[in-house]
Amino acid sequence: MDPSIILAIKFVHVPTCKKMGLSEKDITKEVVLQSRCSKHPNVLRLIDCNVSKDYMWIIMEMADGGDLFDKIEPDVGVDSDVAQFYFQQLVSAVDYLHVGCGIAHRDIKPENILLDKNGNLKLADFGLASQFKRKDGTLRVSMDQRGSPPYMAPEVLYSEDGYYADRTDIWSIGILLFVLLTGQTPWELPSLENEDFVFFIENDGNINWGAWSKIEFTHLNLLRKILQPDPIKRVTLKALKLHPWISRSVSFAGDDGLCNDPDLLAKKLFCHLNVSLSNENYLKFTQDVNSNNRCFSTQPIGNELAELEHDSVHFKTLSNTQRAFTLHDSNMNGNSGTFMTQEAKWTQFISNDMAALQFHSEENCLNDLLKDRLQFNPNKLTKFYTLQPMDVLLLNLEKALTLSQIRVKPDLFANFEKLCELLGYEKVFPLIINIKTKSDGGYPLSGSISIVKIQEDLKNVGFERKTGDPLEWRRLFKRISTICRDIILIPN
C-alpha cells in the first residue's frame, strides 16, 4: 500500500459492548453490512477488520474533508448549488445500497455524512443498517424502532404491522435536504405530540411560514413528494432520480457526479458561515438573566458543574496545532528581518483558516476574504483563537457558560492555578471543560471545550460535540463566542 495514503482506524471495545447487551453478531453486523457496500464513490469504504484481544479494529478510508454537519449554518443552511450537489450524491449512494446491495442505512443524518479531500459526500456509520431485501428479492418487514428522532420516518413510530426499511431512508433524505436548505430540522420528532409535525400533516405539507418560507417552490415541491407520511404515497428512488434537481448538473461537478472544482465547492459551502459579534447579538446573549426578553437555546440540566481539568486522555492529539484550510505557512519570522508583534504575526498565521474567517463582519462577503484556494480537511470549525492570558480567557468563558445556563464551578482560574502548581504551566495544557445542557426542545446536548496552547501566547479554544443535535451545538458555540468576542483573535 502507498505509504502516503492516510487511513482511519475505528476501535470497538468488545467487553463494553457485551455489557450493553450486544452479542458478537450485533457487534460484527456493522462491519459485515458496510463491507458489502464499499464499492460506491459516495459510501465510506471499509478496507479491513480483525479482532485483537478485547478490541475489534476496523480500517476505513480517511474522510479528509471532515463532517458535513460542521459546515451547515444554523437557521441559514448551505448554498442551493451545494445542497443540490450533496442531494444528488446522497440519492446515488442510497440507490446503490437499496438496489445493488439490498441494504437500508436507517440512520441518514448530517453526522453520518463525511467529506473526502475534494468535498465529495461519503455516507458512513452502518451501525443501524439492515438487510431489507432477501436473496429471492422479497422484502423483509421491520418492526423495531431505530434511527435519530428528527430524521426518523413516522411509520417507524406508528406502524403496527411493520414497515419497509428502504422507504424510511427516502424520508430521511428529505429531512436532510430540508436541513441543508434551511439550517433547521422541521420538527424534533414526527409524532402526533409534536405541534410542528401535526401542523404539517393537517395542511398536507402546504406550509409557507417559518423555515418553510425560505425554500424555493421547486424545492418545496420536491420535499412534499419525499415527506409523504404515508410510505405507499412516498416518492420512490426510481422516480426521484428523474427529478430535474437530480438530472441537472452543477458547475463544480463532472459527468461522473464527483466534484471537479474543490475550491469552488469549498467557497460555496462556506460562504454562509458567519459568527456575528455585533452589538445586537452581544446584548441579546448578555442581558439580565431574569429578563423576559432573554433568548435561550439551552436549558440547565442536573446538578453537575462544568469544571476545568487537564485533558490527559487527548494530550498528544490536542497538543498539535489545529489549522483548518491553511494552504501554506506564513513567514512566521517576519519579512526581511522586520520585527512583528505577536498579534500581527499570529493574525497572519490564521488568515487562511476557515475557523477564524467565519468571524468576518456581515458587511464583508466571506468570498472577499478567501484570496487563496481552499482545501478540505477534517479539522472542526467550532473553535476560535485568542492571545489573552489565562485569567482573562477563563473569566470570559465562565461568564459565557453561566449566561448560557450551564452551571460552572466558580473561579475557573483558581482551579487553573492549582493545576499549574501540580503539573507546571507548560505541561498543564491541553485543558478541557466538559459541559452538559439541553436544547430548547429538551433534548440532551453535551460536549467539551478544549484549550490548547499552540505557541507563545496563541491558544486554540475548540468546542467538541459528544451528544445532541449538531445544529444546536453550533448555536451554543456561536453564543459563547459572541459573549467572548473581546478576546477572539480575528484576521484582518
List the catalytic residues. 107
Kindly list the distances between the CA atom of residue 200 and the CA atoms of 8, 207, 440, in Å, as whole numbers in the listed order: 41, 7, 20
- Give the torsion sign (CA, 298, 304, 308, 313): negative
HEC readout, the chain = CCCCCCEEEEEEEHHHHHHCCCCHHHHHHHHHHHHCCCCCCCECCEEEEEEECCEEEEEEECCCCEECHHHCECCCECCHHHHHHHHHHHHHHHHHHHHHHCEECCCCCHHHEEECCCCCEEECCCCCCEECECCCCCECCECCCCCCHHHCCHHHHHCCCCECHHHHHHHHHHHHHHHHHHCCCCCCCCCCCCHHHHHHHHCCCCCCCHHHHHCCHHHHHHHHHHCCCCCCCCCCHHHHCCCHHHHCCCCCECCCCCECCHHHHHHHHHCCCCCCCCHHHHHHHHCCCCCCCCCCCEECCCCCCECEEECCCCHHHHHCCCCCCCCCCCCCCCCCCCCCCHHHHHHHHCCCCHHHHCCCCCCCCHHHHCCCCCCCCCCCCCEEEECCCHHHHHHHHHHHHHHCCCCECCCHHHHHHHHHHHHCCCCCCCEEEEEEEEECCCCEEEEEEEEEEEECCEEEEEEEEEECCHHHHHHHHHHHHHHCHHHCCCCC
Sheet holding 46-52, edge to edge: 7-13, 55-61, 46-52
Cell of 445: 446536548
